[in-house]
Amino acid sequence: MTNQELTTHNKQESTREEQTRPGRTYVPEVDIYESPDSLWLWADMPGVDEQSIEVNVANGVLSIEGQVSLKDYADLSPVYTEYNVGNYARRFTLSNEIDPESIKARMTNGILELELPKAERAKPRRISVSAS
């Protein structure tokens, strides 16, 4: 993978046509890093707990969706807000280098951490050379 410098941006609302959950849906910001054995993905999903998140792999697409409970905000009358409350959804197409059966997910303090292990065939290996 190549190193890229990304600029930060404002929270991006999803523009998908189909909405299956009420309220706004945002695209979570992510960081992705590569190690020799895995890709690591961290998605920023504030207000989402581990019971309200779904991580699925189907047909080579990794889907992450998190739902924020709006009950904590029901009786509030905001004077000024900068923090947009809503659900999160993001999808990634996986290469055949990733082993979908071994993906691990962990949610900590609003950050979803995914370990996407590389398939054995995608890992670098040393090939021995014999004399003829």
User: Does residue 98 form part of some domain?
Assistant: yes
Q: What is the CATH number of the domain that holds 91?
A: 2.60.40.790
Residue 30: which domain range?
A: 19-121
User: Does residue 61 form part of some domain?
Assistant: yes
Round to whole Å and give the CA distance between 44 and 91.
14
Q: Could you tell me if 45 and 108 are in contact, meaning their C-beta atoms sit under 8 angstroms apart?
A: no
* 2 pLDDT above the threshold of 50: no
In tens, the pLDDT along 30-65 reads 999 999 899 999 999 988 989 999 999 999 999 999
Q: Could you tell me if 104 and 114 are in contact, meaning their C-beta atoms sit under 8 angstroms apart?
A: yes
Number of domains in the chain: 1
Round to whole Å and give the CA distance between 45 and 81.
18
Using 50, 70 and 90 to split pLDDT, how confident is the model at 125?
Answer: confident
In tens, the pLDDT along 57-115 reads 999 999 999 998 877 777 888 788 777 778 999 999 998 889 999 999 999 999 999 99
pLDDT at site 1: 44
* 21 pLDDT above the threshold of 60: no
User: Does residue 2 form part of some domain?
Assistant: no
Q: What is the mean pLDDT of residues 122-129?
A: 77
Q: Could you tell me if 117 and 103 are in contact, meaning their C-beta atoms sit under 8 angstroms apart?
A: yes
